Structure 1
C-alpha cells in the first residue's frame, strides 16, 4: 500500500507539490526557529513551535506513505479477502461484505510498481485509487494478460 501511495503521489499535482513543499517548509521552519533561538537567546514561544512544525513536516515527508499504509491496513483487514476480475468493461472487486464495479472512465490511467498495479482516479487529488497486488496473480502469463488489458483500456503513467 505504501508503494501505491507513493506512485499516486508521484503522478498527481498535489502529490508532487507535497514532495517539495513539505521539505522546503520543514527546513525553513527548523532554520528560522534555530536562528531566532541562537541570535535572540529566547527558547520560549515561536522558535520551538517553528522547529517542531519543521520536524513534523519532515516526518510527514519521510514516513507519510508508510503511516497512511498502516492506517489503511486496518480498514482493509476488516473487509477481508478481496477478489478482482478485470475485463474489457472495467474492474469488479468483491469482498465479503460488498461488491464494486469500477469502469475504465472512473480511473482512466494506471501505474505499475514492483508489487502492484495502481489505478488512481483522474481528479486533481487522485483521492480514489484501486490497487491490484501482484501477489494475487497466479502465473507470470497472467500478469502479462492483465498488463495487456490495462494497456488497451487505460493510459500508462
Structure 2
C-alpha cells in the first residue's frame, strides 16, 4: 500500500517456459475436479488394459491382440504420467513467439501483455488460484475447459513482491 492506503499493483516481468506450463498443468490437474477425474480415468483404464493384455498373454492363442491391448494400457499410463510435459512441449513455439511477458496484478484483476497481445482478466473470469514452488496459477471454473494464467515468481523484481502478490490473490480469489 502507498501512503494514501491505495494498493500498489504488483508487476512481474518474465518469459513463460515449458517447465512453467508443465508445473501449472500438474497443479491444475491435481486441484480441479475435472483434472482429477481425467487423471483417475486415464490411470484406471490404462491399468485395466494392461491387466487384460497381460492375462490374455498367458493364454494360448495369437499374441497380437493381447500385445496391442497391453501396449495401449501402457501408453495410457505413460500419458497420465508425462501428459503435462508433453502438452507443455507442444506450446514451445508459441511461448518463444510471445517473448517477454509483463503482468500487472491489482485489486481489479490481471493485465497481461506480450509483444503481440494485451489481455485484461477480471477476478470473476478466473476466481481460483493455486501456488506451486515456482508459480502462481489463476484458474477459471468452467467445466468444459479450464482457463489459466501462469505468474512465475521469478518475474518479481523484489522478493517482497511475491508476498504482496500472494496477498492480492488471497483477497480476491479462492485458494485451492
TM-score normalised by the chain length of structure 2: 0.84
Partner of 2:91: 72
1:92-107 equivalence runs, <5 A: 92-107=111-126
Measured in 2, the distance between the counterparts of 1:138 and 1:28 equals 49
1:68-147 equivalence runs, <5 A: 68-147=87-166
Aligned length: 156
Partner of 1:156: 175
Partner of 1:5: 25
Aligned CA RMSD, in angstroms, stands at 1.2
Gaps of 5+ in 2: 1-20
Measured in 2, the distance between the counterparts of 1:63 and 1:73 equals 16
Measured in 2, the distance between the counterparts of 1:141 and 1:33 equals 55
What is the CA-CA distance between 1:149 and the residue it aligns to? 0.7
More helix by share: 1
Gaps of 5+ in 1: none
- CA spacing shift, 1:125–1:114, aligned 2, 3 Å: farther
Partner of 2:13: none
- Deviation by residue 1:36-60 (Cα, 9 ceiling, x = unmatched): 122123212x322211210110111
Of 52, 56, 63, which aligns to 1:36? 56
Measured in 2, the distance between the counterparts of 1:12 and 1:125 equals 12
The structure, 1 or 2, with the larger RCO (C-alpha pairs under 8 Å, 6+ apart) is 2
- Deviation by residue 1:90-109 (Cα, 9 ceiling, x = unmatched): 10001101100000000001
TM-score normalised by the chain length of structure 1: 0.94
- Deviation by residue 1:16-36 (Cα, 9 ceiling, x = unmatched): 112222222111111111211
